[in-house]
């Protein structure tokens, strides 16, 4: 009788190989688990990961310069600032086009604000220039419209620069149809008139966004005349002849006449609007920060600056950030130590009292959580000021002379006292939860073996409470290093943290790039200290009970 035993793979009840069936079941379990935690993952992604990624991007992002002055930046890249002279006329000619277009889109003030962070005074220069930049374009407009009044009409420019498909779509469009058709340029016009085509594309985009009139009906920007004059002065007759469309004849006539126009001194026009345009420092700042990504914010965050001569220290009176970083780190450590010094005995008493008594006292520990942070900080302002409760008591006791009251607020002492009070519960609770798990019999056993009270505490009890110390210290330190409300209210000029400057740049100066760089460095410092703590103490030893 032959052996007919099946030596193939084991199978499930439905005939599927058991290995495959188990893998499928495991995959289903993983998908179900993922579906359960998906809302939490999404919440963490939106509220934590995305903001941090955005902060990291803003700390190096610098696209506003190259996006607002694209033609100027391109020509400025070959300028040698070491000559001590302002750029040549072609750079000013490009600036005339870029600046007028930026002023029409209201972007010149944003650029001025950005560059003002690096060179104070540029913001006012950009604003002042924005009020008179159109005069350059109006001068060109006057000369072209004298050749032919048709240049005043928006339809002329649309026919010259828009593609046939776009013109057909615009002819059929009405306001009832909704958004205007997206502009598309005539290919041969883009090749022959690059500056004019770029400006008209921006013009059509703005008109389409405002949605009041079509680009065909809207009065052209003055900068279009400046751009057209510059293009016609350099374009070859063959390139102009290749441009078709209804406005081709006008273009040919203008192309023949423009080379005979008296050249405009764009440099003199800008210097007349503001003498800063003739100064080398202004152009050096634009050139230094023309790249789309810059280390400038991080350099400023560590009291350095980027200059034509390389990276160098900022003026002494502007060096504040490194000092604030060191102050934030060491004061946070000191506050954490004060919380540990005050919280450890309290947690020990709570852990060794009867449960009924400990629960009553625990309410006192938790009571601050039921009071607003602002109220608690304001209470310390009342307590610590020179005419406050503490000074009054000291004067009444005769410990302090009335004329020499202690200065306890608007300094580092005020910040340490107020923040220690606020963060103390965050130290007591982890310590209490860990101490509650330490059996009292361990101390009794140590004493029965001849240990003194101090030896029993230090050799037996304290090592078992270290996990609670670690948890409370990390919690207090992380909270302290990012606080800004309490230091702002009671710290004055000597007790503020780096977080106060971050808040200032976000809400007041609107220098979000510098704020992002400061926040990134602070985050890096926290992660570094966390790494050091893990190596010395071990994060696995941190427990909450």
Q: What is the mean pLDDT of residues 431-441?
A: 90
pLDDT band at 1 (very low <50, low <70, confident <90, very high): very low
Closest CA to 465 of 350, 361, 364, 368: 350
In the numeric block, which tokens belong to residue 16? 């599927």
Task: Reply yes or no on whether the pLDDT at 512 is more than 60.
Answer: yes
CB neighbour class for 229 (10 Å; exposed up to 12, middle 13-18, buried from 19): buried
Task: Reply yes or no on whether the pLDDT at 394 is more than 50.
Answer: yes
Task: Reply yes or no on whether the pLDDT at 71 is more than 60.
Answer: yes
Q: What is the mean pLDDT of residues 15-44?
A: 82
Helix (H) or strand (E) holding 306: strand 304-307
- CA distances 272 to 92, 136, 205, 267, Å, are 13, 11, 31, 9
**DSSP assignments along 315-378, one per residue:** PGGG--HHHHHHHHHHHHHHHHHHHHHHHHHHHHHHHHS-HHHHHHHHHHHHGGGGS-HHHHHH
Computed over every residue of the chain, the mean pLDDT equals 87
pLDDT band at 335 (very low <50, low <70, confident <90, very high): very high
* Residue reference for tokens 């780190």: 329
In the numeric block, which tokens belong to residue 314? 């900022």
CB 89 within 8 A of CB 266: yes
CATH superfamily, region 333-541: MetI-like (1.10.3720.10)
CB 381 within 8 A of CB 417: no
Task: Reply yes or no on whether the pLDDT at 7 is more than 80.
Answer: no
Rounded-to-integer distance, Cα 395 and Cα 37, Å: 60
Closest CA to 445 of 437, 455, 456: 456
Q: Does residue 177 or residue 239 have the better pLDDT?
A: 239
Question: What is residue 386's predicted lDDT score, i.e. its pLDDT?
Answer: 86
Give residue-wise pLDDT tens across range 528-542. Answer: 888 887 777 666 665
Task: Reply yes or no on whether the pLDDT at 378 is more than 50.
Answer: yes
Question: What is residue 542's predicted lDDT score, i.e. its pLDDT?
Answer: 59
Over pLDDT 90: what percentage of the chain?
37
Over pLDDT 70: what percentage of the chain?
95
Q: Does residue 33 or residue 515 have the better pLDDT?
A: 515
Q: What is the mean pLDDT of residues 337-364?
A: 91
């Amino acid at each position: 009788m032959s052996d007919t035993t099946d030596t193939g793979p084991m199978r499930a009840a439905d005939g599927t190989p058991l290995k495959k069936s188990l893998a499928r079941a495991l995959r289903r379990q993983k998908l179900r688990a993922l579906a359960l935690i998906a809302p939490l993952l999404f919440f963490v992604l939106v509220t934590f990961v995305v903001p941090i990624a955005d902060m990291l991007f803003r700390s190096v992002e610098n696209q506003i310069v190259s996006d607002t002055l694209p033609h100027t930046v391109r020509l400025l890249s070959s300028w040698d600032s070491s000559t001590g002279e302002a750029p040549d006329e072609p750079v000013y000619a490009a600036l005339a086009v870029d600046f007028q277009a930026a002023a029409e889109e209201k972007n010149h003030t944003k650029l001025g604000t950005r560059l003002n962070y690096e060179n104070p005074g540029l913001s006012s220069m950009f604003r002042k220039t924005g009020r008179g930049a159109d005069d350059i374009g109006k001068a060109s407009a006057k000369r072209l419209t004298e050749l032919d009044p048709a240049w005043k009409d928006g339809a002329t420019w649309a026919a010259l620069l828009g593609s046939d498909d776009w013109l057909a779509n615009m002819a059929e469009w009405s306001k009832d149809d909704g958004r205007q058709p997206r502009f598309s340029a005539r290919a041969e016009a883009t090749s022959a008139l690059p500056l004019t085509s770029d400006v008209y594309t921006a013009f059509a985009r703005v008109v389409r966004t405002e949605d009041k009139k079509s680009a065909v009906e809207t009065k052209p920007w003055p900068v279009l005349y400046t751009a057209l004059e510059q293009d016609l002065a350099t374009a070859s007759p063959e390139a102009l002849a290749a441009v078709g469309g209804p406005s081709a004849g006008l273009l040919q006539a203008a192309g023949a006449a423009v080379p005979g126009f008296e050249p405009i001194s764009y440099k003199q026009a800008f210097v007349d609007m503001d003498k800063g345009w003739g100064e080398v420092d202004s152009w050096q700042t634009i050139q230094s920060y023309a790249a789309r990504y810059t280390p400038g914010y991080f350099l400023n965050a560590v009291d350095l600056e980027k200059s034509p001569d390389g990276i160098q220290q900022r003026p002494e009176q502007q060096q504040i950030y490194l000092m604030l970083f060191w102050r934030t780190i060491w004061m946070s450590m000191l506050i954490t130590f004060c919380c540990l010094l005050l919280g450890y005995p309290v947690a020990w008493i709570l852990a060794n009292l009867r449960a009924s008594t400990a629960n009553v006292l625990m309410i006192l520990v938790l009571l601050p959580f039921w009071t607003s942070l602002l109220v608690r900080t304001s209470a310390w302002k009342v307590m610590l000021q020179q005419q406050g409760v503490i000074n009054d008591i000291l004067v009444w006791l005769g410990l302090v002379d009335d004329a020499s009251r202690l200065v306890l607020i608007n300094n580092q002492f005020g910040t340490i006292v107020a923040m220690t009070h606020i963060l103390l519960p965050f130290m007591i609770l982890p310590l209490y939860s860990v101490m509650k798990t330490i059996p009292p019999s361990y101390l009794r056993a140590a004493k029965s073996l001849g240990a003194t009270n101090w030896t029993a505490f230090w050799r037996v009890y304290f090592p078992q409470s270290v996990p609670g110390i670690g948890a409370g210290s990390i919690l207090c330190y992380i909270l302290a290093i990012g606080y800004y409300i309490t230091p702002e209210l009671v710290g004055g000029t000597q007790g503020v943290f780096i977080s106060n400057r971050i808040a200032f740049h976000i809400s007041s100066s609107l220098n979000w790039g510098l704020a992002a760089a400061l926040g990134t460095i602070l985050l890096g410092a926290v992660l570094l200290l966390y790494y050091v703590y893990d190596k010395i103490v071990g994060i696995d030893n941190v427990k909450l009970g």
